[in-house]
Structure 1
Amino acid sequence: MKKLLLPMLLLVLIFAMIPQQISASSQLNGFDRLKEINEENQVIIVNNNGGLQAVVTTYEKVNGEWRQALPKMSAVVGNNGISTKLKEGDGITPTGVYTLGTAFGWGEKPNGVKLPYRTSTSNDYWIDDPASSDYNKWITYSGNPTTRWNSYEKLKQPLYKYAVAINYNTNPIVKGKGSAIFLHVWRSSTSPTAGCVALAEENVTKLLTWIDPAKKPIIVIGKTSEINTLLGEHALKTAKKFVADAQMKANKLRGNYDASSINDVEISPQFSSDYSAAKTAVLNAQEKVNSLQNKQELQQGLDAAKTYQLRAAYFIDAVKVGQNEVTPLKEKVEDFVQNDSFTPELAESYHELSAKIKKDELLIGKVYGSETREFMAKALVMEAKIIRETVIYEVSIFELLHDINELISQNQQAAAIKELAKLDRLKKRAIEIKDAGNKLHPGKYPDLPGMKTFLEKYEEETRSNLN
């Protein structure tokens, strides 16, 4: 019976998971281009199909997936519906995608509101007079408002018991294009607004407590058929900004990864800072571009920025490996040369140095510009290669003698004798290399009598063991 229960339980779990997966997708309510929104994590959608009635749907991104957050809410819009707003007083609720401003109201601040909240008084006004320099601004004024403005909104009134400003016509403010666009409490479910979005008081407070400025909330207003287009256009506009920022920051790197002398092979603090900024900007832009449906053109622009960032990366990596990995090992081997002393540790350091030189040469090979590569090789690995070659045959002779002794210990006399025959050729080649090296770099390939004595003694012991 237990054997049957386990497969049945697995089937129950599998079928239980399927509706959840379908539900996660269906919660987009047809607004599939929400998936392109990458910068913001909260979206309020206000959509209608004409008239004053609208539906407000909220979405939140959780673990990288968009889900409906609150139950759908009824709303009302301008008496002339939702459209492109052209002028002050046209009774139109503006189509578009907007950020949210300050929450406000004369009622007690609801618990859990995370937006900046401002309590309104009888001295607070929102100015909708296109002739005023205060147009589309909250102004606190204790005098007679009619002597200062031709038109204004009193903020201490029933409709604004709870509200949040929608950042329409705010940056820059265009006089006469429309002002005081809020999400606020409605008069009734059948009363239009003058251009705002209005809901029942309980739903306004629900929204105010749900909205989290840390999640960069936006509000999307439009007809049902327009919402996906508005979402896509907003995502594209956002991605363009990020790509432009990446291009600007990457362009600042140009010239820093070029070297016209050995002295140019360095990473200044400013170069390092500019590179970090460019790398972050490129990564952020790529994230935004990846979410778009149509991204080919933007990707090409971003790839140009990546080219400069990548050139800088190769230059920086080569310098860091040269300075932080090659140089310390070069100095370690150099100490053995200067002290003219041979120990097994020298052989280990020699091989470590060889590996780091190879690593840096591979990086230098990726650096942009043949002249720059030439100066980088001189600055970062040339001295290390000379130091390595100074002891290349001392190390080779030591390791050959070590291998021969291993063969002797294994009673492989014939193999040991065969290997010993290589020794004379190796010693002869060592002399030739030092002579050739000193012709190219005078004094860089010194005789090392101390190491020579050590190796001669080791050879003598080896031959003795063989005999």
Structure 2
Amino acid sequence: MPVRKGTAMVLTCALSAALVLTGCTAGQPPAPAPAPAAPKDGHDAANRAPEKARQAAKRIPGIGPRTYARIPDGTSQVLVVSGDSADGNVATAVLYDRDPAGRWQPVAGPWTGHNALRGWTDDHVAGDLRSPVGVFRIGDAGGRLPDPGARIPYDQDEEFAVSGTGFLDEPLEGSFDYVVAIDYNRVAGTTPLDKDRPLGDEKGGGVWIHVDHGGPTQACISLPRENMTELLRALDPAREPVIVMGPAAENAL
């Protein structure tokens, strides 16, 4: 049957439209779909693990950012004393050194001792039977007994003799055989026996690290005798040592 011109034109237009819809690559195989990306979780985690370990090594365990910010930049030796609770009087001490790469490493401890009878306070006053919370320099020492090999200044004096009994009726004799002064309300660079109180007598003073007598203290930190001699030999004035002291929960802030 003869094809009318109008019909031919319709067929030609339909063919042209089909070619446009198939694009310029008509007759060529379609491009392969991109392969799905391999999961990165395992690879990324493996890469992140060493970095996380490096960053963790640059922090002191149990010390949070607010507390850490109070440690002087030049300090590379920190004694961390963590109380069991805000009102508790049992504490644990660990000494840390920082290496040239900025990594903190425990070098002595943990040692178990005591703090004040009623726990801790951010606002210590004389007679409150609480240990002050904070970051303090520790650079002066002394005791009734001869210097056991301390690198920080050591003042041997009979005035360190003590007698009487503690809160649990335990004997106090020998408690001050070895002491390290905590620079709370005192003049740094003087004997622990110095009575000058820059903040006033009402803010207390004479807060020391001393030999443990088996019970809570008035405000001091106490450590077993063998640990006191170890601490005295370890403290290095070139490292500008400090003590971070407080209940564990507050140290972690």
The question of a shared fold, defined as TM-score above 0.5 by the shorter chain, is answered with: yes
- Does the Cα contact within 8 Å between 1:75 and 1:198 map onto a contact in 2? yes
Offset at residue 119 of structure 1 (A): 0.4
Aligned counterpart, 2:60: 28
Aligned counterpart, 2:132: 94
Offset at residue 213 of structure 1 (A): 1.0
Structure 2 counterparts to residues 29-428 of structure 1, below 5 A = 29-31=61-63, 33=65, 36=69, 37=71, 38-48=73-83, 49-50=85-86, 51-63=88-100, 64-111=102-149, 113-122=150-159, 157-170=173-186, 172-188=198-214, 191-229=215-253
The 1-side partners of 2:74 and 2:218 are apart by 31
Q: 1:66 to 1:157 in 2, by over 3 A?
A: same
- The one-letter code matched in structure 2 to 1:99 is R
- Does the Cα contact within 8 Å between 2:139 and 2:240 map onto a contact in 1? no
Gaps of 5+ in 1: 1-17, 127-155, 230-467
Offset at residue 198 of structure 1 (A): 0.2
- Does the Cα contact within 8 Å between 1:24 and 1:67 map onto a contact in 2? no
Offset at residue 101 of structure 1 (A): 4.0
The 1-side partners of 2:178 and 2:55 are apart by 32
The 2-side partners of 1:208 and 1:91 are apart by 26
Gaps of 5+ in 2: 1-48, 163-171, 188-197
Cα shift readout 1:43-72 (whole Å, capped 9, x = no counterpart) = 111111241111112111111222222131
- The one-letter code matched in structure 2 to 1:219 is I
- The one-letter code matched in structure 2 to 1:179 is G
Secondary structure at the aligned position of 2:229 is classed as helix
- Does the Cα contact within 8 Å between 1:43 and 1:219 map onto a contact in 2? yes
The 2-side partners of 1:47 and 1:207 are apart by 16
- Does the Cα contact within 8 Å between 2:98 and 2:105 map onto a contact in 1? yes
- The one-letter code matched in structure 2 to 1:93 is S
Cα shift readout 1:121-174 (whole Å, capped 9, x = no counterpart) = 14x699xxxxxxxxxxxxxxxxxxxxxxxxxxxxx9510001111111125231
The 2-side partners of 1:222 and 1:45 are apart by 9
Q: 1:68 to 1:208 in 2, by over 3 A?
A: same
The 2-side partners of 1:29 and 1:175 are apart by 35
Secondary structure at the aligned position of 1:198 is classed as strand
- The one-letter code matched in structure 1 to 2:225 is E
- Does the Cα contact within 8 Å between 2:82 and 2:246 map onto a contact in 1? yes
The 1-side partners of 2:235 and 2:227 are apart by 12
The 2-side partners of 1:79 and 1:184 are apart by 15
Secondary structure at the aligned position of 1:169 is classed as coil
- The one-letter code matched in structure 2 to 1:224 is A
The 2-side partners of 1:35 and 1:177 are apart by 24
- Does the Cα contact within 8 Å between 1:96 and 1:221 map onto a contact in 2? yes
- Does the Cα contact within 8 Å between 1:85 and 1:92 map onto a contact in 2? no
The structure with more strand, counted as a fraction of residues: 2
The 2-side partners of 1:169 and 1:102 are apart by 14
The 2-side partners of 1:125 and 1:202 are apart by 18
Offset at residue 24 of structure 1 (A): 8.3
Structure possessing the higher relative contact order (Cα contacts under 8 Å, 6 or more residues apart): 2
The 1-side partners of 2:138 and 2:235 are apart by 9
- Percentage of pairs with the same residue: 29
The 2-side partners of 1:24 and 1:60 are apart by 16
- Does the Cα contact within 8 Å between 2:120 and 2:133 map onto a contact in 1? yes
